[in-house]
Amino acid sequence: MSRTLAEWLAYQERVNVHSIELGLDRVREVWRRMGAPAPARQVITVGGTNGKGSTVAMLEAILRAAGRRVGAFTSPHLLSYNERVRIDGVDVDDAALIASFERIETARGVGKPAPVLLTYFEFGTLAALDLFARAELDVALLEVGLGGRLDAVNIIDADLALITTIDLDHMDWLGPDRDSIGREKAGIARSGRPVILGELDPPAGLLAALEACDARIERAGTDFSVERHADGWRWHHRDGSVMELPDPALLAPVQYANAAAAIAALHALNDEMLAPSAFFAAVSAGLHEVRASARLQVIRGDVSLVVDVGHNPQAARALAEWIDAQPPTPLHAVYGALADKDVAGVVAALGSRVDHWHLTGLDQVSPRGMTVDALVGVLQQTLPQAAYSIYPDVPAALLGARRTAQVGDCILAFGSFFVAGEALAEQVSPVTRADGG
């Protein structure tokens, strides 16, 4: 009997005892058995610590404005697993995912001796590649899940790699410092092909690894740059290209850097794609239309709700920058975190900007979740004077924040995809979510 999508996802979580198992041999072998078709005419792989999802959304919006048929693979999801695979801006349906999972299961060799074991993420990656290959795409956008060199998406040789930022996250897997993490993320680049660096100060380890693989490096601040002004912003390239552009629809100040990197990527691949005037029109339209859920998503009301997936110190610093640019208002933070995150760094980055912390554990929704008691301990050690309340789960914390807040106050729900997803689920009918960041 055929499985439902929910049954398939539950099954995938059981197949491999390891929720994360970095390495390409297993997933590459299954993809080979599936014929290893090209997922699109051109492939862009996007890696980095923060900004990957926003940058993919911008690339997707610009390319679609240019009339290109685009597929986007991102993770994790907020409300529905289907969000992870988009074709022409539409989430794929359950039937398409189920059919792809069945093809993957056959290629794994289930029912034969020693079937290939895959992780939950690897099933999803292969499904995206399979569905993209069948959709006859112009461009496939692949977001790295963890690291780069050993991430499942790296079985595909991208025409261009884009690395947004490098900061301290997933250190148990990627290394103890920015140099080590940068070397891992450099693994998505290919010899002789362009790699776009969106950060002004990339670590030496990243640059050395990219130079060793002979990638064609283009750096923010060196090869392309941003100049903001009252009526928008200006994008420059060292080849003399200049565009006067509208502000990105995504709110955070860091989105200018993400937009600049996205434009640089398409500029590097543009060759025969579009005339300069058409490229400018597509960029302008894409930046105006781009949407990315839970990336400083503001839901207005008597009490505004701001939802953000930021879960590490670099993301928290970007949040702080945005908060500082807003009119002063009491801020209530609904916060939960995974145990492998630098909670102290996140809390310190926001500091006294938060008037009241509404804390909840995520240990009931993820084996990686931090308990509320542990969260309280870090908060008290980092901000001894902070006011806080504790709750059994995210919905209760959101409710507590709403009851505490006054008209004109703001609630910030952040710290994990689990927290952001629950906050957005208040606006729509809840659906199953299987994992989070």
Residue 433 lies in a domain: no
What distance in Å separates the CA atoms of residue 406 and residue 352, rounded to the nearest whole number? 19
Is the bond preceding residue 328 a cis peptide, omega within 30 degrees?
no
pTM of the model: 0.92
Task: Locate 287 and state its tokens.
Answer: 């930046």
Q: What percent of the chain has pLDDT over 90?
A: 81
Q: What is the CATH number of the domain that holds 406?
A: 3.90.190.20
- Is residue 427's pLDDT more than 80? no
**CA distances (Å), 305 to each of 260, 298, 314, 354, 426, in order?**
28, 6, 21, 14, 11
Share of the chain above pLDDT 70, in %: 95
Work out the pLDDT band at 234, boundaries 50, 70, 90: very high
- 394 is a domain residue: yes
In terms of residue numbers, what domain contains 335? 297-425
Give the CATH number for residue 46: 3.40.1190.10
Same domain, 167 and 91: yes
Q: Does residue 356 fall inside a structural domain? A: yes
Whether residue 116 is found in the same domain as residue 217? yes
Residues 324 and 272 occupy one common structural domain: no
pLDDT in tens, 360-398: 999 999 888 999 999 999 999 999 999 999 999 999 999
Are residues 263 and 385 located together in one domain of the fold?
no
Q: Is residue 430 part of a domain?
A: no
Kind of pairing between the strands at 139-143 and 85-87: unpaired
Q: How far apart are CA 170 and CA 1, in angstroms?
A: 39
Provide the domain count of the chain.
2
Residues 274 and 398 in one domain: no
The answer to whether residues 51 and 126 belong to one domain is yes
Region 324-337: mean pLDDT is: 96
CA distances from 53 to 275, 293, 379, 386 (A): 27, 9, 28, 32
The Cα–Cα gap between 241 and 259 comes to 15
Question: Does residue 236 sit within a domain?
Answer: yes
Residue 436 placed within a domain: no
Residue 2 is given by DSSP the state P
67 — pLDDT class (breaks 50, 70, 90): very high
Last residue of a domain, one of 233, 268, 289: 289
pLDDT over 60 (residue 435): no
Q: If pLDDT is split at 50, 70 and 90, which confidence band does 174 have?
A: confident
Q: What pLDDT, on a 0 to 100 scale, did the predictor assign at position 433?
A: 36
Chain centroid to Cα 382, Å, comes to 27
DSSP codes joined into one string, 138-153: SEEEEE-SSSSTTSGG
435 inside domain: no
* Confidence at residue 179, expressed as pLDDT on a 0 to 100 scale: 87
* Structure confidence at residue 273 as a pLDDT band (50, 70, 90): low
**Which residue among 230, 257, 289 closes a domain?**
289
Examine the domain organization and report whether 171 and 123 are in the same domain: yes
* 137 and 74 share one domain: yes
Is 203 contained in some domain? yes
**Is residue 130 domain-shared with residue 199, that is, in the same domain?**
yes
For residues 323 and 271, state if they share a domain.
no
Contacts (Cβ under 8 Å, ≥6 apart) of 275 = none
284 and 310 together in one domain: no
pLDDT digits (tens, 9 = 90+) for 130-157: 999 999 999 999 999 888 898 999 999 9
Distance from C-alpha of 52 to C-alpha of 258, rounded to nearest angstrom: 8
Nearest CA-CA partner of 394 in 429, 359, 367, 368: 359
Measure the CA–CA gap between 146 and 377, rounded to whole angstroms: 28
Asked if the model's pLDDT at residue 275 lies above 80, the reply is no
Q: Which residue has the tokens 């198992």?
A: 21
Contacts of 316 (CB under 8 A, 6+ apart): 310, 345, 346, 347, 349, 350
- Reported as a single tens digit per residue, the pLDDT across 151-169 is 999 999 999 999 999 987 7
Residues 323 and 240 in one domain: no
Mean pLDDT, all residues of the chain:
92
How far is it, in rounded angstroms, from Cα 386 to Cα 381? 10
Last residue of a domain, which of 262, 289, 316?
Answer: 289
Strands 232-237 and 42-47, bridge-based pairing: unpaired
Question: Which of these ranges, 119-128, 201-210, 270-279, has the smallest mean pLDDT?
Answer: 270-279
Q: What are the two backbone dihedrals, phi and then psi, of residue 179, each rounded to the nearest 5 degrees?
A: -60, -50
Confidence of residue 173 (pLDDT cuts 50, 70, 90): low
On whether the CB atoms of residues 366 and 420 are closer than 8 A, the answer is no
